[in-house]
Amino acid sequence: MKWKNQIVNLHAYQPGKSIDEVKKMYNLKEIFKLASNENPYGFSEKVKKVLEEDATSTFSYYPDGYATNLREEAAKFLGVKPTQLIFSNGTDELLQIISKALLEPGKNTVMACPTFSQYKHNAIMEGAEVREIPLVDGNHDLDNMLKALDHQTAIVWLCSPNNPTGTYITNDKLMNFLQQVPKDILIVLDEAYYEYVDADDYYDALSLIDKYPNLIVTRTFSKIYGLASFRVGYGIASEEIISALEPVRQPFNTNVLAQKVASEALKDQEFVSQCAALNKKELERYYDFCQKHNLHYYQSQGNFILIDFQCDGDDVFTFLLSKGYIVRSGKQLGFPTSIRVTIGTSEQNSGVIDAMKAFLEKQAIKN
Ligand SMILES: Cc1ncc(COP(=O)(O)O)c(C=O)c1O
Protein backbone atom coordinates (compact mmCIF):
# COMPACT_ATOMS: atom_id res chain seq x y z
CA MET A 1 0.00 0.00 0.00
CA LYS A 2 1.22 3.48 -0.77
CA TRP A 3 0.47 5.24 2.54
CA LYS A 4 1.60 8.85 2.81
CA ASN A 5 5.03 8.84 4.52
CA GLN A 6 3.86 11.28 7.13
CA ILE A 7 1.02 9.12 8.47
CA VAL A 8 3.14 6.02 9.09
CA ASN A 9 4.24 7.20 12.53
CA LEU A 10 1.00 8.93 13.51
CA HIS A 11 -0.98 7.44 16.39
CA ALA A 12 -4.74 7.06 16.35
CA TYR A 13 -6.64 8.96 19.02
CA GLN A 14 -6.45 6.89 22.20
CA PRO A 15 -9.81 6.87 23.91
CA GLY A 16 -9.54 6.50 27.68
CA LYS A 17 -11.05 3.54 29.48
CA SER A 18 -14.83 3.47 29.29
CA ILE A 19 -16.85 4.22 32.41
CA ASP A 20 -18.06 0.60 32.52
CA GLU A 21 -14.50 -0.73 32.30
CA VAL A 22 -13.36 1.48 35.18
CA LYS A 23 -16.38 0.47 37.29
CA LYS A 24 -15.57 -3.18 36.83
CA MET A 25 -11.83 -2.75 37.34
CA TYR A 26 -12.14 -1.00 40.69
CA ASN A 27 -15.51 -2.32 41.79
CA LEU A 28 -16.99 1.18 41.93
CA LYS A 29 -20.63 2.20 41.78
CA GLU A 30 -20.13 5.65 40.30
CA ILE A 31 -17.52 7.13 37.99
CA PHE A 32 -17.03 10.79 37.15
CA LYS A 33 -15.41 11.77 33.88
CA LEU A 34 -13.45 14.99 34.27
CA ALA A 35 -11.06 14.40 31.42
CA SER A 36 -12.28 16.24 28.32
CA ASN A 37 -13.46 19.63 29.59
CA GLU A 38 -17.12 18.97 29.00
CA ASN A 39 -19.83 20.86 30.89
CA PRO A 40 -20.66 19.02 34.15
CA TYR A 41 -24.03 20.80 34.28
CA GLY A 42 -25.18 19.28 30.99
CA PHE A 43 -27.03 21.57 28.61
CA SER A 44 -29.86 24.11 28.52
CA GLU A 45 -33.45 23.12 29.34
CA LYS A 46 -34.40 24.78 26.05
CA VAL A 47 -32.30 22.19 24.23
CA LYS A 48 -33.98 19.38 26.18
CA LYS A 49 -37.34 20.59 24.94
CA VAL A 50 -36.22 20.56 21.31
CA LEU A 51 -34.95 17.03 21.69
CA GLU A 52 -38.21 15.83 23.23
CA GLU A 53 -40.30 17.54 20.57
CA ASP A 54 -38.10 16.37 17.75
CA ALA A 55 -38.40 12.64 18.38
CA THR A 56 -40.57 12.24 15.27
CA SER A 57 -38.36 14.18 12.88
CA THR A 58 -37.67 12.73 9.47
CA PHE A 59 -34.13 11.52 9.50
CA SER A 60 -34.20 9.94 6.08
CA TYR A 61 -33.24 13.20 4.36
CA TYR A 62 -29.80 14.78 4.27
CA PRO A 63 -29.43 17.77 6.56
CA ASP A 64 -29.26 21.32 5.25
CA GLY A 65 -25.61 21.37 4.25
CA TYR A 66 -25.45 25.13 4.67
CA ALA A 67 -26.92 24.99 8.21
CA THR A 68 -29.08 27.94 7.21
CA ASN A 69 -31.11 28.35 10.40
CA LEU A 70 -28.16 27.88 12.71
CA ARG A 71 -26.14 30.21 10.52
CA GLU A 72 -28.77 32.94 10.76
CA GLU A 73 -29.15 32.54 14.52
CA ALA A 74 -25.40 32.56 15.07
CA ALA A 75 -24.84 35.54 12.75
CA LYS A 76 -27.48 37.52 14.64
CA PHE A 77 -26.06 36.53 18.00
CA LEU A 78 -22.46 37.29 17.04
CA GLY A 79 -23.20 40.43 15.04
CA VAL A 80 -21.54 39.20 11.83
CA LYS A 81 -22.82 38.37 8.35
CA PRO A 82 -24.03 34.80 7.76
CA THR A 83 -21.39 34.57 5.03
CA GLN A 84 -18.69 35.14 7.63
CA LEU A 85 -19.39 31.78 9.29
CA ILE A 86 -18.37 28.19 8.62
CA PHE A 87 -19.83 25.25 10.59
CA SER A 88 -18.09 21.97 11.22
CA ASN A 89 -18.33 18.58 12.87
CA GLY A 90 -16.80 19.91 16.06
CA THR A 91 -13.98 22.44 15.95
CA ASP A 92 -11.78 19.40 15.34
CA GLU A 93 -13.10 19.19 11.80
CA LEU A 94 -12.66 22.91 11.21
CA LEU A 95 -9.02 22.72 12.29
CA GLN A 96 -8.61 19.89 9.81
CA ILE A 97 -10.36 21.83 7.02
CA ILE A 98 -8.04 24.78 7.62
CA SER A 99 -4.98 22.53 7.52
CA LYS A 100 -6.15 20.77 4.38
CA ALA A 101 -6.75 24.11 2.68
CA LEU A 102 -3.36 25.61 3.48
CA LEU A 103 -0.73 23.07 4.46
CA GLU A 104 1.37 20.85 2.22
CA PRO A 105 4.99 19.72 1.95
CA GLY A 106 7.29 22.72 1.63
CA LYS A 107 5.12 24.88 3.90
CA ASN A 108 5.37 25.29 7.64
CA THR A 109 3.06 26.14 10.50
CA VAL A 110 3.81 27.77 13.85
CA MET A 111 2.20 26.94 17.19
CA ALA A 112 2.85 27.03 20.90
CA CYS A 113 4.01 23.94 22.78
CA PRO A 114 2.27 22.41 24.65
CA THR A 115 -1.05 23.38 23.16
CA PHE A 116 -4.09 21.63 21.73
CA SER A 117 -2.78 18.50 20.01
CA GLN A 118 -4.79 18.62 16.80
CA TYR A 119 -2.93 21.58 15.25
CA LYS A 120 0.22 19.47 15.06
CA HIS A 121 -1.56 16.24 14.16
CA ASN A 122 -3.27 17.81 11.13
CA ALA A 123 -0.09 19.56 10.02
CA ILE A 124 1.82 16.29 10.04
CA MET A 125 -0.93 14.64 7.99
CA GLU A 126 -0.56 17.35 5.38
CA GLY A 127 3.20 16.92 5.30
CA ALA A 128 3.96 20.46 6.51
CA GLU A 129 6.84 21.38 8.80
CA VAL A 130 5.71 21.99 12.39
CA ARG A 131 7.43 24.79 14.32
CA GLU A 132 6.63 24.51 18.02
CA ILE A 133 7.51 27.42 20.25
CA PRO A 134 7.70 26.52 23.96
CA LEU A 135 5.31 28.26 26.32
CA VAL A 136 6.92 30.62 28.82
CA ASP A 137 5.38 30.26 32.29
CA GLY A 138 2.44 28.55 30.63
CA ASN A 139 1.89 31.44 28.19
CA HIS A 140 2.29 31.73 24.43
CA ASP A 141 5.71 33.19 23.61
CA LEU A 142 4.39 35.51 20.91
CA ASP A 143 7.74 37.20 20.23
CA ASN A 144 9.41 33.91 19.42
CA MET A 145 6.36 32.77 17.48
CA LEU A 146 6.74 35.89 15.32
CA LYS A 147 10.43 35.13 14.81
CA ALA A 148 9.54 31.63 13.61
CA LEU A 149 7.39 32.93 10.74
CA ASP A 150 8.88 33.06 7.25
CA HIS A 151 7.78 33.08 3.59
CA GLN A 152 6.79 29.42 3.77
CA THR A 153 4.60 29.83 6.86
CA ALA A 154 0.94 29.25 6.00
CA ILE A 155 -0.76 29.15 9.42
CA VAL A 156 -0.01 30.36 12.93
CA TRP A 157 -2.16 28.85 15.70
CA LEU A 158 -3.14 30.66 18.88
CA CYS A 159 -5.07 28.89 21.61
CA SER A 160 -6.58 31.28 24.14
CA PRO A 161 -7.41 30.10 26.73
CA ASN A 162 -4.74 27.53 26.03
CA ASN A 163 -5.41 23.87 26.50
CA PRO A 164 -3.88 22.41 28.73
CA THR A 165 -2.64 25.40 30.78
CA GLY A 166 -5.80 27.54 30.88
CA THR A 167 -3.71 30.68 30.32
CA TYR A 168 -4.87 33.41 27.93
CA ILE A 169 -3.34 36.01 25.65
CA THR A 170 -3.87 39.58 26.83
CA ASN A 171 -5.39 42.24 24.59
CA ASP A 172 -2.13 44.23 24.31
CA LYS A 173 -0.07 41.20 23.42
CA LEU A 174 -2.55 40.01 20.82
CA MET A 175 -2.74 43.47 19.17
CA ASN A 176 1.02 43.68 18.97
CA PHE A 177 1.16 40.19 17.46
CA LEU A 178 -1.59 40.69 14.89
CA GLN A 179 0.03 43.88 13.62
CA GLN A 180 3.26 42.05 12.90
CA VAL A 181 2.03 38.87 11.23
CA PRO A 182 2.35 39.14 7.43
CA LYS A 183 -1.04 39.40 5.74
CA ASP A 184 -0.57 36.19 3.75
CA ILE A 185 -0.34 34.02 6.87
CA LEU A 186 -3.60 32.77 8.34
CA ILE A 187 -3.92 33.36 12.08
CA VAL A 188 -6.19 30.83 13.78
CA LEU A 189 -7.43 32.01 17.15
CA ASP A 190 -8.96 28.99 18.89
CA GLU A 191 -11.43 30.18 21.52
CA ALA A 192 -12.98 26.87 22.52
CA TYR A 193 -13.23 28.13 26.12
CA TYR A 194 -14.18 31.72 25.26
CA GLU A 195 -17.41 31.75 27.28
CA TYR A 196 -15.57 30.94 30.51
CA VAL A 197 -13.19 33.90 30.28
CA ASP A 198 -13.64 36.78 32.70
CA ALA A 199 -10.18 38.41 32.60
CA ASP A 200 -10.39 42.21 32.24
CA ASP A 201 -7.58 42.41 29.71
CA TYR A 202 -9.00 39.76 27.38
CA TYR A 203 -9.55 40.98 23.81
CA ASP A 204 -12.76 41.05 21.78
CA ALA A 205 -11.82 38.72 18.94
CA LEU A 206 -14.85 39.42 16.78
CA SER A 207 -14.11 43.13 16.66
CA LEU A 208 -10.73 42.27 15.08
CA ILE A 209 -12.03 40.35 12.11
CA ASP A 210 -12.71 43.42 9.94
CA LYS A 211 -9.30 44.86 10.67
CA TYR A 212 -7.42 41.58 10.15
CA PRO A 213 -8.70 39.77 7.07
CA ASN A 214 -6.14 37.00 7.77
CA LEU A 215 -7.73 36.09 11.13
CA ILE A 216 -10.17 33.24 11.81
CA VAL A 217 -11.70 32.76 15.24
CA THR A 218 -12.90 29.26 16.11
CA ARG A 219 -15.47 28.40 18.77
CA THR A 220 -17.48 25.37 19.78
CA PHE A 221 -20.76 24.08 21.19
CA SER A 222 -18.87 21.25 22.92
CA LYS A 223 -17.73 23.08 26.03
CA ILE A 224 -19.94 25.54 27.91
CA TYR A 225 -23.00 24.75 25.76
CA GLY A 226 -22.70 21.14 26.87
CA LEU A 227 -23.29 19.64 23.42
CA ALA A 228 -20.03 17.76 22.83
CA SER A 229 -21.69 14.63 21.50
CA PHE A 230 -23.54 16.58 18.79
CA ARG A 231 -20.24 17.79 17.31
CA VAL A 232 -20.75 21.39 16.26
CA GLY A 233 -17.93 23.89 15.94
CA TYR A 234 -17.72 27.07 13.90
CA GLY A 235 -15.36 29.63 12.51
CA ILE A 236 -15.82 33.39 12.16
CA ALA A 237 -13.72 35.27 9.63
CA SER A 238 -13.73 37.54 6.61
CA GLU A 239 -15.94 36.42 3.71
CA GLU A 240 -12.76 35.81 1.68
CA ILE A 241 -11.44 33.27 4.18
CA ILE A 242 -14.80 31.56 4.57
CA SER A 243 -15.34 31.21 0.83
CA ALA A 244 -11.85 29.74 0.42
CA LEU A 245 -12.51 27.17 3.17
CA GLU A 246 -16.07 26.18 2.18
CA PRO A 247 -15.11 23.91 -0.75
CA VAL A 248 -12.86 21.89 1.57
CA ARG A 249 -15.72 21.15 3.96
CA GLN A 250 -17.78 17.99 3.47
CA PRO A 251 -21.23 18.93 2.12
CA PHE A 252 -23.26 17.51 5.05
CA ASN A 253 -20.82 17.86 7.91
CA THR A 254 -23.26 18.92 10.63
CA ASN A 255 -26.34 16.78 11.17
CA VAL A 256 -29.95 17.88 11.41
CA LEU A 257 -30.36 17.48 15.18
CA ALA A 258 -26.99 19.02 15.90
CA GLN A 259 -27.93 22.14 13.94
CA LYS A 260 -31.22 22.39 15.81
CA VAL A 261 -29.83 21.98 19.30
CA ALA A 262 -26.95 24.35 18.63
CA SER A 263 -29.23 27.14 17.44
CA GLU A 264 -31.51 26.59 20.45
CA ALA A 265 -28.56 26.57 22.84
CA LEU A 266 -27.48 29.99 21.62
CA LYS A 267 -30.81 31.40 22.80
CA ASP A 268 -30.14 30.44 26.42
CA GLN A 269 -27.32 32.76 27.42
CA GLU A 270 -28.54 32.67 31.00
CA PHE A 271 -27.50 29.02 31.17
CA VAL A 272 -24.10 29.98 29.75
CA SER A 273 -23.56 32.72 32.35
CA GLN A 274 -24.66 30.45 35.19
CA CYS A 275 -22.21 27.74 34.13
CA ALA A 276 -19.37 30.26 33.80
CA ALA A 277 -20.08 31.65 37.28
CA LEU A 278 -20.24 28.20 38.87
CA ASN A 279 -17.03 27.22 37.11
CA LYS A 280 -15.24 30.27 38.49
CA LYS A 281 -16.41 29.56 42.02
CA GLU A 282 -15.38 25.92 41.85
CA LEU A 283 -11.98 26.76 40.32
CA GLU A 284 -11.22 28.74 43.48
CA ARG A 285 -11.50 25.57 45.51
CA TYR A 286 -8.75 23.99 43.42
CA TYR A 287 -6.59 27.09 43.84
CA ASP A 288 -7.05 26.87 47.63
CA PHE A 289 -6.15 23.20 47.59
CA CYS A 290 -3.01 23.81 45.50
CA GLN A 291 -1.89 26.72 47.68
CA LYS A 292 -2.42 24.73 50.86
CA HIS A 293 -0.36 21.85 49.53
CA ASN A 294 2.29 23.87 47.70
CA LEU A 295 1.40 22.49 44.30
CA HIS A 296 2.14 24.54 41.22
CA TYR A 297 -0.86 25.38 39.02
CA TYR A 298 -1.78 27.92 36.38
CA GLN A 299 -4.61 30.39 36.92
CA SER A 300 -7.16 29.12 34.44
CA GLN A 301 -9.60 31.00 32.25
CA GLY A 302 -11.08 27.70 31.11
CA ASN A 303 -13.07 24.94 32.80
CA PHE A 304 -10.00 22.90 33.69
CA ILE A 305 -6.86 23.21 35.76
CA LEU A 306 -3.35 21.84 35.29
CA ILE A 307 -1.79 20.84 38.60
CA ASP A 308 1.83 19.80 39.04
CA PHE A 309 2.31 17.00 41.59
CA GLN A 310 6.08 16.77 41.00
CA CYS A 311 5.81 13.05 40.36
CA ASP A 312 4.75 10.84 37.47
CA GLY A 313 1.41 12.22 36.25
CA ASP A 314 0.29 8.67 35.40
CA ASP A 315 0.58 7.71 39.10
CA VAL A 316 -1.77 10.53 40.12
CA PHE A 317 -4.08 9.65 37.24
CA THR A 318 -4.21 5.96 38.24
CA PHE A 319 -4.82 6.78 41.89
CA LEU A 320 -7.71 9.11 41.05
CA LEU A 321 -9.10 6.50 38.67
CA SER A 322 -9.18 3.97 41.49
CA LYS A 323 -11.35 6.45 43.44
CA GLY A 324 -13.74 6.87 40.51
CA TYR A 325 -12.40 10.07 38.93
CA ILE A 326 -11.18 10.02 35.35
CA VAL A 327 -8.85 12.99 34.74
CA ARG A 328 -6.06 13.46 32.16
CA SER A 329 -2.50 12.58 32.94
CA GLY A 330 -0.19 15.43 31.94
CA LYS A 331 2.11 12.85 30.38
CA GLN A 332 0.09 12.93 27.17
CA LEU A 333 -0.18 16.73 27.33
CA GLY A 334 3.46 17.75 27.55
CA PHE A 335 3.46 18.16 31.35
CA PRO A 336 4.68 14.77 32.59
CA THR A 337 4.42 15.54 36.31
CA SER A 338 0.97 17.12 36.15
CA ILE A 339 -2.65 16.19 35.74
CA ARG A 340 -5.39 18.19 34.05
CA VAL A 341 -8.73 18.14 35.81
CA THR A 342 -11.99 19.37 34.29
CA ILE A 343 -13.84 21.47 36.85
CA GLY A 344 -16.89 19.43 37.82
CA THR A 345 -19.93 20.08 39.97
CA SER A 346 -19.40 21.05 43.58
CA GLU A 347 -19.89 17.45 44.71
CA GLN A 348 -17.54 16.05 42.08
CA ASN A 349 -14.87 18.62 42.96
CA SER A 350 -15.13 17.74 46.66
CA GLY A 351 -14.53 14.13 45.68
CA VAL A 352 -11.54 14.92 43.45
CA ILE A 353 -9.99 17.20 46.04
CA ASP A 354 -10.38 14.51 48.74
CA ALA A 355 -8.85 11.96 46.39
CA MET A 356 -5.91 14.29 45.62
CA LYS A 357 -5.38 14.79 49.37
CA ALA A 358 -5.36 11.02 49.85
CA PHE A 359 -2.79 10.72 47.06
CA LEU A 360 -0.52 13.28 48.73
CA GLU A 361 -0.84 11.49 52.07
CA LYS A 362 0.09 8.19 50.43
CA GLN A 363 3.08 9.86 48.75
CA ALA A 364 4.21 11.37 52.07
CA ILE A 365 4.19 7.93 53.73
CA LYS A 366 6.11 6.44 50.79
CA ASN A 367 8.81 9.10 50.97
C1 LIG B 1 -8.54 24.24 22.54
C2 LIG B 1 -9.48 23.29 21.91
N3 LIG B 1 -9.83 23.46 20.63
C4 LIG B 1 -10.68 22.64 20.02
C5 LIG B 1 -11.22 21.55 20.68
C6 LIG B 1 -12.13 20.64 19.93
O7 LIG B 1 -13.44 20.84 20.29
P8 LIG B 1 -14.66 20.24 19.47
O9 LIG B 1 -15.39 19.35 20.41
O10 LIG B 1 -15.45 21.41 19.04
O11 LIG B 1 -14.11 19.46 18.30
C12 LIG B 1 -10.89 21.31 22.02
C13 LIG B 1 -11.42 20.16 22.73
O14 LIG B 1 -11.00 19.78 23.79
C15 LIG B 1 -9.99 22.22 22.64
O16 LIG B 1 -9.62 22.06 23.91
pLDDT in tens, the chain (367 residues): 898 888 888 888 777 678 888 899 999 999 999 999 999 999 999 999 988 887 666 788 999 999 999 999 999 999 999 999 999 999 999 999 999 999 999 999 999 999 999 999 999 999 999 999 999 999 999 999 999 999 999 999 999 999 999 999 999 999 999 999 999 999 999 999 999 999 999 999 999 999 999 999 999 999 999 999 999 999 999 999 999 999 999 999 999 999 999 999 999 999 999 999 999 999 999 999 999 999 999 999 999 999 999 999 999 999 999 999 999 999 999 999 999 999 999 999 999 999 999 999 998 887 7
Please report the atom of ligand 1 found closest to the CA of residue 233.
10
228 CA: nearest ligand 1 atom: 9
| Closest ligand 1 atom to Cα of 193 | 1
Ligand 1 centroid to residue 117 C-alpha, Å: 9
Cα–ligand 1 centroid distance for 97 (angstroms): 14
Please choose, from the candidates 230, 236, 263, the residue with its C-alpha nearest in 3D space to the C-alpha of residue 86. Answer: 236
Q: Report the C-alpha gap between 78 and 68 in whole angstroms.
A: 15
**Atom number in ligand 1 closest to CA 94:** 11
* Distance between Cα 157 and ligand 1 center (Å): 13
The Å distance, Cα 366 to ligand 1 centre, comes to 38
- State residue 56's pLDDT score: 63
Surface-to-core class of residue 58, CB atoms within 10 Å of its CB (0-12 exposed, 13-18 middle, 19+ buried):
exposed
- Residue in 88, 93, 113, 116 to alter for ligand 1 test, most ligand atoms within 8 A of Cβ: 116
Residue 139, burial from CB neighbour count under 10 angstroms (0-12, 13-18, 19+): middle
Cα angle: 197, vertex 50, 194; to 5 degrees = 10
To the nearest 10°, the Cα dihedral for 312, 318, 323, 329? 70
- Please name the amino acid found at residue 359: F
Q: Give the residue whose CA is nearest to atom 7 of ligand 1.
A: 91
The pLDDT value recorded for residue 275 is: 98
The CA-based diameter of the chain, rounded to the nearest angstrom, is 63
Relative to the CA of 92, which ligand 1 atom is closest?
Answer: 11
State which of 33, 119, 163, 219 you would mutate to test the pocket of ligand 1, scoring each by most atoms of that ligand within 8 A of its C-beta. Answer: 163
Q: Which atom of ligand 1 is nearest to the CA of 89?
A: 11
Mutate to test the pocket of ligand 1, among 39, 87, 91 (most ligand atoms within 8 A of CB): 91
Ordered strands of the 328-329 beta sheet:
296-297, 304-308, 338-342, 328-329
> In angstroms, how far is the first alpha carbon of the chain from the final one?
53
* The ligand 1 atom nearest the CA atom of 222: 9
pLDDT at 139: 98
pLDDT reported for residue 74: 98
Kindly report the protein residue whose alpha carbon is nearest to atom 16 of ligand 1: 163
Output the pLDDT for position 55: 63
CA of 145 to the centre of ligand 1 (A): 22
Query: What was the pLDDT predicted at 9?
Result: 83
Ligand 1 binding pocket (C-beta < 6 A) is 37, 90-92, 116, 159, 163, 190, 192, 220, 222, 228, 233
Separation of 185 CA from ligand 1 center, angstroms? 22
Distance 316 CA to ligand 1 centre (A): 24
CA atoms 336, 11, 136, 204: torsion sign:
negative
Q: Which residues pair with 113 in a beta bridge?
A: 134
Residue nearest to atom 3 of ligand 1 (CA): 192
Report whether the peptide linkage leading into residue 164 is cis, meaning its omega lies within 30 degrees of zero: yes
- What distance in angstroms lies between residue 262's CA and the mean position of ligand 1's atoms? 16
Residue bearing the CA closest to ligand 1, atom 2: 192
